[in-house]
Structures are given as C-alpha cells and as structure tokens.
Structure 1
C-alpha cells in the first residue's frame, strides 16, 4: 500500500471513470479506502438507475473487493475488511427529473452526494460557465431542503458563484465542493471565489482540493506541486475544511470527455474546463494524476514539513469521513436536527 506508514489510507472525493473488479482492486491496493463515483452527468432518472444497477452487480460479483457505502460506518467496515467503499454520487441533479419526490427515491437507492448543476443552467440554478448566474431557483431551494432532510450531501463543484453562495446559505447542513480549488490560488471559472469559500468554511463545509491540471495549472506538474497546492488551501481555509478530490477518470472510454462536456445539449465543441489556447499537458503530468500517487502526495506534504502527519491524515481521510458520518444521516434520525450552524 502506497498510502504511507501507519496511515488509514485516502478518501477521494470524486472520480468519473469506468470501473470493474480489477480496477477497484488496484485502487484498494494503492491505499484508496473510499471513493465517490459519478453515476451521472446528464443522465435522467432511468438512465441513472441503469448505472446504479451496474454498480450493484459489480459489487455483488466482487464482495471481497468493494462495498457500497450508505453510511460512514460502512467506510469503517470497508477499511476493517480490506475493501474499497463506493460512495454513489452524481455531477448533476438531472437524475431527479425535476421531481422533488425523486430525491428520497434515489437516497433509498444509495445515492449520497448530488451536485446541483453541471456545466449548464438547469432548473435548480446556474453553472460556473453561464455568462449570467441567476442564482438558486425556487425549485433549487426545495431540492436543497429535501436533500438536507433525507441525508444527501449538496455538492457545488461546477456550480456558479451566486448559486453556490445561495445554496450554502439555504442549506441547514454543511455542503461540500468535492473537486475544485480556490480561485485566489489558481484563477479559473471552475474554481471558487473568496465569498463562496468563506461561507463554506463558516458553515462547516469542506473543499476537495483537485489536482486536475486544467484547474490546477503548474501545481499538477509534479508531486511537490500537488503537495504545495493542498498545503496552500489548508493555510487559506483551515485544516478542518480541506480534503482531496482528484476528478480522475480511470479506464474511461474515448467518448467520455465529449459526453461530459457537451452531453445532448450542444452540437458545438465544448471545452469544459480545458483551455483551447494552451497545449495539452505533458505525459509526465498525466502520470502524476493517478490514484497510485495519492498517498505519495500526502507523504510528500509531511516529508517537506508543509503539514504534520496528523494534519495530512485529516486532509486525505478524516475530513471526508467526518462529513460522511454526519451528512448521510437523515435529519429525523439525528438527535437535534440540523448541523448547529448559525443561520
């Protein structure tokens, strides 16, 4: 295990690849203890259910390799039994088919994290690429409230600035940004501004720092750069509010990126987070962006004295675990509903 001596391992806040038992075994053996997968980008309710069916089949056929985590305790079970915990998530709220009741249905099917918008406006709110962010819609307020109620985490990674801020304020529970960075550290439309991050921290949320080259720039070029990127976010936000979210897409088919960027909504080339005016990154960068290197980045942070071993463990494991322990529990199952945050 490359996770490092005495370390629990790594929880990755977001991936979007294609998985089978062999790949899951490799991830587990590399030290990844839990990962949030992307069950849908643009898919509707039925299509997302098809993906969930495939995940049920994959895990059922490899019971010694993986389990689907519906609670934080399931991650503990995965660690204890040397399996990888799969957290079912989506990068859009399209699975709800604009029906408030579908939030609870998908929670019952195991979905625990939903991003409110992906790369375009939807009925909930605006994406980070819209020329005008119209904010969280009335329906969006209903969705956030319902997700809070059932125990489904609100993710804001691709969400526009105004919509993100309004969602954080509307939520009675901490929200997450599971794969993005601070715009003050690397200026990109997909990264988050100071006002959003201040609100996230004030209400107990967590940012999954992302070493994806398009939104991390030169920090993604080396393991040391990735270590520095994470340490800078800890300095900016505090160690309680920083985790890791790779946005890795292992084993993805060639058409995965066009599907992510343009879906069914456009006939034009959509660049997503990429910069068409910049050359693609060198292969060495891509080699650094790999689940085998997650533990190495964490260990490099400690070796360089950027964080203590306990702080690095908190960033790469403990903060997501805390958020999942608390966030996956329905409000009516908690003693004293809500997160105690000032409203």
Structure 2
C-alpha cells in the first residue's frame, strides 16, 4: 500500500515478534531465529516501506564473528529466495526504486559490528561480493576498529580502523557510524573518501546520552554529503519513555543542524507490532539484564522502558510520522526526503546508481 513516497528504513527489523515469545528474552536474536511469516510480509507491504537495512552477521554474543556472519548471510539469501514475490536484495541504489515498482520490499544487507572483518581488511571485498552494502564500524563496545559509544576511553579510530574505512571506500560500502564513540565517529568521517552515515541515532543536544550524536558529529557527517537516520528509540527522551513527538523533535533538530537533504529515519525496530505488551514487559527485565551483564547495553537502557516508541509502531508508523511532520509545517517535498529520498541520494553517492 503506497504512501506516495519511497520509504527507506535505514535500520530496521523484518520479523514477527509475536511468533516466538522467548525471543524477546534472548541475549541476541540471530537471523535464523527470525520469523518472516505471512503476517510479517503483509504488515511490511501495508506499512508502505520500500526498503529496509536489516542487521545480519555478528553483533554481540558468544559466536565466532566471521563464521557466524557467513551463516547469517546464507540465512538471508534463503529467506529472499523463499519469498521471491515479496522480497528482493538491494545491490545498487536503483534497486530501491525497482523494489517499489515491483511492489516488493528491498532488503539491504548491513552489519552492526565490523568484528567479523577481524584483522583482515581484505574481507571487506568478500562481504561486498556476498551482497553486503552497509558496515557499521562498532557496536556499543570497543572492537579492533574503534571505540563504541559505551567505551569509556573514547579512543577513536585505530590504525586497523583506518585500513577498514579505506577498504569500505574502495568497495563502495556504506561506512555506518551508529553506536560509535564520538572520537571514532569524527575520525572515521574525516578519514573516509566517500560520504558516511549514521543510520540510526538521536541528537545529544536534546538528550545527553552516548547513543545520541553531538551536533559536531551530525554537522561533519552532513558536510561530507552523508546521511543521518533518526531512530524510534527510548534514547530520544531523558525519561526513557520516548513518544512520536520526541521523534519529530529529533528529526527537526537534525534538519536544523544538517540541512533537509541529509536526514532520514532508521527506526531500529519491527513493523509488526508486539501484541501483548504486558507479557513483553515481563520479559524485558531479563533481556536488559543480559545485555548489561555482557557489557553491550547502551546508557539509558532500562527494564522499565520499551526499546521502541509505543505510539509510533505497527503498520501505520510511517504514515503517522508523515502526518506529524506535515502538522509541524513541513512541505511534502521535505517529508519525501526524510522518509526515503535522502537515503536514496546518499546510496547513489556510495554504491553508485
């Protein structure tokens, strides 16, 4: 069901969170645990989304990063082959528009941690050949490439990190700086020969949490022609109980800092809504405790806050956001850019047409 716009979720989840209740309490949900059900697909189509950057590969947990990542790529290849009428893999910017024309959901392969590269930057070429189009340098913790947002040292990009950024540039993969520490973000942005992105974040000027980006980071990313996606996450409100209005405020701030040509959305959540929020709330405390014990939780994660925006979820989330942006006085052209056109423009710069 078309919204009238291309809608690109720069970081999202294609899954039915109601299918396996235990999944919400697991430390890590891997691709082979996802349930891409008929409801999942129907909801995605009904939402109007055109393409989603899905997380695959190693993010955190007790897995061998490289081997686990290869298995996850195979899993997503199988998912797409199993649903050829509904899904197509995005390899170039033009594939996003083509997915829209064919009435399919474009699937963008992305990592949320470059740990699987290990100490071998040449693996970037192999991942590109397997269809990966986005590599986020770090998760919340430090890795061999740089410090994440929870690493207290804030050490920045390592010498190996510089090599990895160069390899990502060479093979035309997006350098995603979501979850990175401030110095890592700034140094990687300056080191990159191509525009970089922060596919899912908030604005630290509004809520001072490490997962949100400072104005300096936002401005530098935009100045280089990059992209910033605002998430639908609790970090958008100091109370942890973020609302749709908070999403709009962070988008508005990002537009003021970056300009309207560099801001979009990366929800970091599903389209299919959780049906039983009370049961989910009961499992959430265990999930948060596990992440904290593993050192992977972000500052602001709490057992009494949902990891999504409760009044901006389900199949109507993109329409509701468009309505709120219109209510704020945004033109249809600006709304179109935020919902997906800006990501497409950025993708052309990095991936080519």
Match of 2:335 in 1: 312
Partner of 2:347: 324
Q: Secondary structure, in 3 states, of the residue corresponding to 2:53?
A: strand
Evaluate the alpha carbon distance shift between residue 297 and residue 250 of structure 1 in structure 2; reply closer, same or farther with a 3 A threshold. Answer: closer
Matched, 1:203 2:224: yes
1:173-212 to 2 correspondences below 5 Å: 173-212=194-233
TM-score, normalization by structure 1: 0.85
Q: Distance in 2 between matches of 1:280 and 1:202?
A: 34
| CA shift digits 1:106-148 (9 cap, x unpaired) | 0000000011011111110101111111111110000000000
Does 1:300 pair with 2:324?
A: yes
Is the contact made by 1:179 and 1:244 (CA closer than 8 Å) also made in structure 2?
yes
Q: Which moved more, 1:12-21 or 1:295-304?
A: 12-21
Q: Which one of the candidate residues 87, 91, 94 is aligned to 1:66? A: 87
Aligned 1:200-239 pairs, distance under 5 A? 200-217=221-238, 221-239=242-260
Question: What CA distance in whole angstroms lies between the structure 1 residues aligned with 2:90 and 2:326?
Answer: 29
The corresponding residue for 1:339 is none
Q: 1:289 maps to which residue?
A: 313
- Residue 198 (structure 1) shift: 2.0
1:124 and 2:145 aligned: yes
Q: Does 1:8 align with 2:5?
A: yes
Gaps of 5+ in 1: 335-343
Distance 1:135 1:150, change over 3 A: same
Please tell me whether the aligned partners of residues 235 and 242 of structure 2 are also in contact (alpha carbons under 8 angstroms): no
Name the counterpart of 2:110.
89
Structure 1 contact 119–261 (Cα < 8 Å) conserved: no
The one of 239, 244, 247 equivalent to 2:268 is: 247
Cα distance in 2 for partners of 1:260, 1:185 equals 24
Asked whether the equivalents of residues 19 and 251 of structure 1 are also in contact (C-alpha less than 8 Å), the reply is no
Tell me: CA distance 1:258–1:164, structure 2 relative to 1, closer, same or farther (3 Å). farther
CA distance in 2, matches of 1:89, 1:259: 23
Aligned mate of 2:300, from 269, 274, 278: 274
**Contact conserved, 1:119 with 1:129, CA < 8 A, in 2?**
yes
CA contact under 8 A between 1:212 and 1:289: conserved in structure 2? no
The within-5 A match list for 1:332-343 is none
Q: 2:232–2:312: 8 Å Cα contact kept in structure 1?
A: no
User: Does 196-205 or 19-28 show the bigger shift?
Assistant: 19-28
The residue number in structure 2 matching 1:105 is 126
The alpha-carbon deviation at position 235 of structure 1 amounts to 2.0
1:18-57 matches, within 5 Å, as 18-22=34-38, 23-40=40-57, 41-42=59-60, 44-57=65-78
Distance 2:293 2:301 in 1: 19
Cα–Cα, structure 1 residues 37 and 65, in superposed 2: closer, same or farther, change >3 Å?
Answer: same
Q: Which sits farther off after the overlay, 287-296 or 86-95?
A: 287-296
Instruction: Give the whole-Å Cα distance in 1 for the aligned partners of 2:11 and 2:135.
Output: 11
In the alignment, the residues of structure 1 paired with residue 289 and residue 182 of structure 2 have an alpha-carbon distance, to the nearest angstrom, of 20
CA contact (8 A) 2:200 2:268 kept: yes
For the 8 Å contact 1:210–1:216, the answer to whether it is kept is: no
CA contact (8 A) 1:91 1:116 kept: yes
Superposed CA RMSD: 2.9
Quote how far apart the aligned CAs of 1:19 are. 4.6
**Deviation of 1:233 (Å):** 2.0
